[in-house]
Structure 1
Amino acid sequence: MATGSTLARRALGRELNRLREAAKMSQSAAGRVIGVSPQTIGRMEDGQPTKVSDLYVNALCDAYQATDGERVVLLGLAQEVRAAQRSGGGWWRAYADEIPADFDHYLALEEAAKRLTAWKLTVVPGMLQTPEYRRAMIWTETPNKDTEAVEKRIEIATRRQARLEERDFAVDVILSEAVVRDQIGGRSVMANQLRHLAQAGDRPNVSIRVVPFSAPSHLGSFVGSFVLLEFPALPSSKLTEPPVVYVEEYAGDLYLERDSEVGRYRDAVAEISRVALDEQATRRLLLELVEEYTG
């Protein structure tokens, strides 16, 4: 699995930020060292796409009084960023006109993740949606969208599902029963979608569970839908990026990275898991609903 440049940029930015703050330098002062704006330093530290040459890294290491070991790590990360960029951008770049900027960032993280844990209150996660289900969602959200644009979005969802074929990529999805009973696209579309979920759950690296309406009061009703993304070690530096919680909202998305924030969502996963059906009981429920929708 290729981690791409996203994780290396984030790791490089985090290390640059740590060294600058340890040196008690402002972003403006750091920018003057290499002849760039403080905004550019901010982009570097936030792990956003921007030029990070060895010349820049060495000059900043000198200014920050970095150790030889720290310099080696930073130069290695910069090399990883450039190597990933030379191999080309993510496959989703071809669909840039149909992907909001925030979701472009999410796709890069999802592509690099080694584990995805999702709690969904209302809809099936994109990585597990059938084309018909996805199409029905799009027409509901944007009824005036032209057919070509709709089909491009469906292609995006289909491409994302290729990661399910990777044995070293784990997916743990917990769904509210509302997700499997809300008839998005009608009974036939839902029957196919639930059949697809049951089949996906047969994969050794995929776990799908449902929290039934009969479950006791639980934290999932209050925290809302979210995705927890965990990452592998970077290939050269062996640094591991901290996990990210992605919270998708109708008016905008949130990316949470602080240990305290991620910890609260980990606790939420544990609490929701406690009241969820196991995988076999979930499969039985899904297939019972398929019978109901096709009967």
Structure 2
Amino acid sequence: MATGSTLARRALGRQLKRIRERHNISQSAAGRVIGVSQQTIGRMEDGQPTKVSDLYINTLCDAYQTSGEERGMLLGLALEVRTAQKSEGGWWRAYADEIRPGVNHYMGLEEAARKLAIWKVTIVPGVLQTPEYRRAMVWMERPEMPSEQVEKLVEVTMRRQERLAEPDFAVDAILSEMVLRDQVGGRGVISAQLQHLAEVGLRENVSVRVVPYDAPTHLGSRVGSFVLLEFPKLPATGLIEPPVIYVEEYAGDLYLERDTEVCRYRDAFAEISRVALDQDSTREIILKIAEEHAA
């Protein structure tokens, strides 16, 4: 699996920030060393797309008085960024006119992730949606959107699901029973969607479980829907980027990366998992509700 440039940029930025702060050098001072603005240093350290040349890295290493080992690591990460940028197309960028602002960042993270742990209070996760369900969601959210644009958004969702065929990519999805009961697109659409969930849940790398209405009290309603993304080792350096919590909101998206924040959500996912049905029982309830919708 190609990890893409997103992870390499994040790893490089994280290491540059760590070394700079260790030597008590400000971002503005670091910018003056290589002749760029404080904002550019900030973008580099935040893992945002910006020029990262070996000249920049070597000059910063001189200013930071880094060890040979650290210099080699940073140069390796910079090479990984450039190599990944040449080899990847970032396929979702072709749909930039249709997808909402900020989605590019999530798409890069999802494409690079090795595992998604998903808790959904409402709405089937995009990576598990049928075309008809996704189409109904788009029409509900943006009824004024032209049909051509709607179909492109459906294409994006289907392209995302190609990763389910990769054995080293895993999805652990826990859904509230509300997700199964909400008749998105009408009874026929949701019935077919639930049958798809039952089928995709049989894959070895996909787990779909349900928290029924009568489950014991748990944190799921309190924390709301979220995705925990975990990442593989970077090929060249062997570094592993820390996990990210993604919270999708109607008015904007939230990314949480601090250890304390990630731990709280990881613990919440474990608590929700404790009250979720097992996969066999989940398949039974999904198919039962699908039949109810189809009746």
Give the TM-score normalised by structure 2. Answer: 0.99
In structure 1, the partner of 2:234 is 234
Match of 1:97, SS?
coil
Opposite residue 185 of structure 1, the aligned amino acid is G
Where do 1:1-295 residues align within 5 Å? 1-295=1-295
Any runs of at least 4 consecutive aligned residues in structure 1 with deviations exceeding 2 A, and if so which? none
Match of 2:291, SS?
helix
User: CA–CA distance in 1 between the matches of 2:292 and 2:41?
Assistant: 57
Instruction: Report the alpha carbon displacement of residue 88 of structure 1 after superposing the two structures with TM.
Output: 3.4
Unaligned stretches of 5+ residues in structure 1: none
Instruction: Report the alpha carbon displacement of residue 99 of structure 1 after superposing the two structures with TM.
Output: 2.0
User: CA–CA distance in 2 between the matches of 1:129 and 1:239?
Assistant: 32
User: CA–CA distance in 2 between the matches of 1:15 and 1:100?
Assistant: 30
Match of 2:248, SS?
strand
User: CA–CA distance in 1 between the matches of 2:151 and 2:159?
Assistant: 12
Give the TM-score normalised by structure 1. Answer: 0.99
Instruction: Report the alpha carbon displacement of residue 111 of structure 1 after superposing the two structures with TM.
Output: 0.4
Opposite residue 271 of structure 1, the aligned amino acid is E
* Two-structure CA RMSD over aligned residues (Å): 0.6
User: CA–CA distance in 1 between the matches of 2:199 and 2:293?
Assistant: 17
Instruction: Report the alpha carbon displacement of residue 231 of structure 1 after superposing the two structures with TM.
Output: 0.2
Instruction: Report the alpha carbon displacement of residue 89 of structure 1 after superposing the two structures with TM.
Output: 2.7
Instruction: Report the alpha carbon displacement of residue 23 of structure 1 after superposing the two structures with TM.
Output: 1.1
Match of 1:116, SS?
strand
Q: How many residues align?
A: 295
Unaligned stretches of 5+ residues in structure 2: none
User: CA–CA distance in 1 between the matches of 2:288 and 2:177?
Assistant: 13
Instruction: Report the alpha carbon displacement of residue 291 of structure 1 after superposing the two structures with TM.
Output: 1.3
Instruction: Report the alpha carbon displacement of residue 101 of structure 1 after superposing the two structures with TM.
Output: 3.1
User: CA–CA distance in 1 between the matches of 2:88 and 2:235?
Assistant: 17
Instruction: Report the alpha carbon displacement of residue 103 of structure 1 after superposing the two structures with TM.
Output: 1.2
Instruction: Report the alpha carbon displacement of residue 93 of structure 1 after superposing the two structures with TM.
Output: 1.3
Match of 1:255, SS?
strand
